[in-house]
Structure 1
Amino acid sequence: MPTLSREQPGPQPHHARRTAESFGTDARRYDEARPAYPDALVARIVAGSPGPGLLDVGCGTGIAARQFRAAGCAVLGVEPDVRMADLARAHGVGVEVATFEAWDPADRLFDAVTAAQSWHWVDPAVGAAKAARVLRPGGRLAVFGHVFEPPAEVAEPFAAAFRRVAPDSPFSGGPARRPLDAYRAGYAQTAEQIRATGHFHEPEQWRFDWERPYTRDQWLNLLPTTGGLTRLGPERLTEILTAVGEAIDALGGGFTMQYVTLATTAVRDEAP
């Protein structure tokens, strides 16, 4: 499902600021509909960090940040969209409004830097090097996100409707579903960017498999929070949701999503 799974319009999504900052169009829906991250992932990052201080890059409404806070971390979020930041603050997450590239760490250091479903919006020439700069020796960088690929019976009607109503969108040209290897290649590229800094031990690739059932209404609530749909007008959005809703009805009113959460993670070396 191209608009949901990639969350990005092309090979350099960090340039697409209007799309990157469109997720706050309905921040409350985003917060309610988007899935949390596997507890095992959170626990592994916390256990592999030297202390509780955590910087969450592109924290959005604080979905991951709240999980890390519940696991005992002292979390600071960085988020460019004030609408998302305000909702994260309402949940008790401290947030500074800025892109990660422009954010001023003010000599602060952290035990972990995380990016949940957000690293592709960061300039790759800046991101890993800046993460190294704000991590303590032994601190952990963890970049992770979900692979969203609903069943073909849902993905294909969605892709057809999207191509019909938004033929000029950069999201409309992809296949209805992408193989897992396409996502893994993106995380491998992140690992190369981390290696290129010369400030981290060898990156690791983690994978977590899980599933979640969706009713028709639950899935149609989530869809408008995804990259290709956040900037569509009401009429075009309704046409897409109608097509997807009919497809889910044909499946009996729901389906089970087989999720894969991928992560690239590396530990800051001891050099100053």
Structure 2
Amino acid sequence: MPTLPEKAEPPSQAHRDRRTAESFGVDPARYDRARPRYPDELVRRIAGGGTGGTAFAVLDVGCGTGIGSRQFQAAGCAVLGVDPDARMAEFARGTGVEVEVATFEDWDPAGRVFDAVVAGQSWHWVEPVAGAAKAARLLRPGGRLAAFGHVFAAPPEVAAALAEVYRRLVPDSPMNAASSRTPLELYQEMFARAAEGFRDAGGFAEPEQWRFDWEAPCTRDEWLDHLPTTGGLTRLPPDQVAEVLHHVGAAIDALGGSFTRHYTTLAATAVRR
């Protein structure tokens, strides 16, 4: 979810930035604690009311600490995660998720097939057409590929404080590139490109795009816990992260110490023909 201006490079090229893609495991416990869960309706629509055991098999691509994986398990699915970061995989295993360490493109399915291939906050790190083509080979006929993620714009005062301190600390970062589009517009473009990748890969019915709007309260401490898990901060040294959190915390204090997070969860999805 955006908390800094988006990179200047097109969203379809994000999978080439492997340093950022594999930087989120610096603090898996924080990531798992601070990152939001996915709407229950999204999980239900994908799982179709799976009854457990091997009745509905889900492959979670870029499963991270297992946030989405555990939600699908709770819905009665048998879940296998794949993630390139051994630190994230180790944490997920500790929560009861089976995980294999590899990028999705290099992962060996060893003949296994699935009812759903899902990717929460991670499909932009996968080559869009090759990844979709591989997913099609892993899905049973009628199985679903679903890439989804959250978008959220902080209150203007909080966003301005973050952008100002980030520009000062990391002036040459492409994250400082200005954009005339809103975070929602940027993410809508990203998921439209994901849908194009599904279409170009072949083997799928016409892709669909889903949208879920929801909100949640957020305290100062909760937001400052979340920020270091985002792509703009995962590669900063601790002293710079601390300075960012100090300035953003002051902005939230000026709002009364909390705010309401208005989220949109977007999904690009298609059914295997």
TM-score range, shorter chain: over 0.9
SS of residue paired to 1:206: strand
Change in 2 beyond 3 A, CA 1:61/1:27 = same
Per-residue deviation, residues 21-65 of structure 1 (Å, max 9, x unmatched): 110000110011101000010011111889510000000000000
* 1:239 aligned residue (236, 239, 243): 243
**CA shift at 1:121, angstroms?**
0.4
2:226 counterpart of 1:222: yes
| Residues 80, 97 of structure 1: 8 Å contact kept | yes
Q: Match of 2:63?
A: 59
- AA matched with 1:231: R
Correspondence list, 1:51-130, <5 A: 51-130=55-134
Asked if the contact 2:151–2:183 (Cα under 8 Å) also holds between the matched residues in 1, the reply is: no
Shift of 1:181: 2.2
* Amino acid in structure 2 at the alignment position of 1:28: A
Partner of 1:196: 200
Is 1:146 aligned to 2:147, yes or no?
no
Bigger mean CA deviation after superposition, 81-90 or 158-167: 158-167
Shift of 1:179: 4.2
Give 2:9's aligned residue: 10
- TM-aligned CA deviation for residue 202 of structure 1: 0.8
Task: Give the number of equivalent residue pairs.
Answer: 268
What SS does the aligned partner of 2:174 have? coil
User: In the alignment, which residue of structure 2 is the partner of 1:26?
Assistant: 27
The offset of 1:5, in angstroms, is 7.7
- 2: CA distance, partners of 1:196 / 1:157: 41
CA distance in 1, matches of 2:2, 2:176: 7
The CA deviation at 1:125 is: 3.4
Q: The residue matched to 1:125 in structure 2 has which SS?
A: helix
Q: Percent identity?
A: 65
Deviation at 1:182, TM superposition (A): 2.1
Greater CA deviation, 187-196 or 69-78? Answer: 187-196
Structure 2: which 5+ residue stretches go unaligned? none
Q: What CA distance in whole angstroms lies between the structure 2 residues aligned with 1:235 and 1:177?
A: 31
Cα distance, 1:112–1:67 mapped onto 2, change above 3 Å: same
CA contact (8 A) 2:136 2:203 kept: yes
Q: Any conservation in 2 of the 1:2–1:159 contact (CA below 8 Å)?
A: no
Consecutive aligned runs of 4 or more in structure 1 exceeding 4 Å deviation = 1-6, 48-51
Q: Quote the Cα distance in structure 1 between the aligned partners of 2:68 and 2:8.
A: 23
Q: Secondary structure at the match of 1:195?
A: helix
Structure 2 residue matching 1:167: 3-state secondary structure: coil
- Counterpart secondary structure, 1:126: helix
Distance 1:158 1:74 in 2: 40
Q: Say what the alpha-carbon RMSD is for the aligned residues.
A: 1.9
Normalising by structure 1, report the TM-score: 0.94
Structure 1 unaligned spans of 5+: none
The 5-angstrom pairing of residues 241-256 of structure 1 reads 241-256=245-260
TM-score, normalised to structure 2, is: 0.93
Distance change >3 Å, CA 120–CA 18, structure 1 → 2? same
Check whether the contact 1:33–1:222 (CA below 8 A) recurs between aligned residues: yes
Q: Cα deviations across residues 87-106 of structure 1 (Å, max 9, x unaligned)?
A: 00000100000000000011
Q: Is the 8 A contact 2:130 2:201 kept in 1?
A: no
